Amino acid sequence: MELAKAVVQTTHDHLSYSQIYCYLGCPLQYRFKYVDDIPPAFTTAALVFGSAIHEAAAAFHQGRLEAEPLRVDQLLDVYRDEWRRAERVKFLNGDNENTLMEKARNMLSVFHDSVDSGSQVIGVEEFFEIPLGGLPPFQGYIDLIEESHDGCVTLVDLKTASKKLSQSNVDTNLQLTAYALATESMGFNPDDLTFRLDVLLKTKEAGMVRYETRRTADDRHRFMRLLYSVWNGIQQEVFFPRQDWGCIQCAWAKNCRDW
């Protein structure tokens, strides 16, 4: 057990939201990915698509920050560049690169036209690090920080989704709680801030929905407890399969069968 702990310690110089999300989704997949460091057998097209849209949106907000807004065709160039970098892409649900390109064109056009020109960008992909006593630090990036003309600051996470979210999904979204925790180390008072999920819909007719929410001290405290509990599970090698519908897209399914 001591040797196992040493391995876990040396493979974790930090913790991230992606790691926590992965562990909560399937602890065994977490082990394959973050402890054993086994490369994925493939990357799902949905993952590449989401990250390519995300990069295009980030480039757009960076352009706003630098007072050089990008056109839709320039956003598509960013999207294409991301696709070119992707390796071993696995298409599901009858999609292919062309159908997804068409979908991206529609979505980025809706995204481009939906941006509130009355708000000012004050940060894009802002890095944060939260020191945690006895744990590797928690690190991440805040997609977007905006300030409205009346001085209200909003921290935004951008997602793509195949359907609208419920408000309770938004109120319990862990990524936004992580942002709230991070703001303390960035000099903000999280109680004064608004948090927002910008959801770009992959539905037949593309759409953009913005959901606002707040985070309390209790939410932040609960998230800290979650971080410590997950780290405890990792250190104690609590790695078990959590089979569900998501297994069909798991890039470590072969390792799982051999487990």
Binding residues (CB under 6 A) for ligand SF4: these are 26, 28-29, 241-243, 246-247, 250, 252-253, 256
Nearer to ligand SF4, 223 or 252 (CB): 252
Label each residue of 82-136 as H, E or C: HHHHCCCEECCCCCCHHHHHHHHHHHHHHHHHHCCCCCEEEEEEEEEEEEECCEE
Whole-number minimum distance, CB 166 to ligand SF4, in Å? 25
Whole-number minimum distance, CB 251 to ligand SF4, in Å? 8
Nearer to ligand SF4, 33 or 196 (CB): 33
How far is 147 from 160, CA to CA, in rounded Å?
23
How far is 73 from 108, CA to CA, in rounded Å?
9
Q: How far lies 150's CA from each of 119, 123, 184, 198, 224, in Å?
A: 9, 17, 22, 21, 32
Whole-number minimum distance, CB 40 to ligand SF4, in Å? 10
Whole-number minimum distance, CB 13 to ligand SF4, in Å? 24
Nearer to ligand SF4, 136 or 241 (CB): 241
213 and 195 Cβ atoms separated by less than 8 Å: yes
Nearer to ligand SF4, 29 or 213 (CB): 29
Whole-number minimum distance, CB 92 to ligand SF4, in Å? 15
Nearer to ligand SF4, 25 or 166 (CB): 25
Between vectors from CA 165 to CA 25 and to CA 211, what angle results, nearest 5°? 115
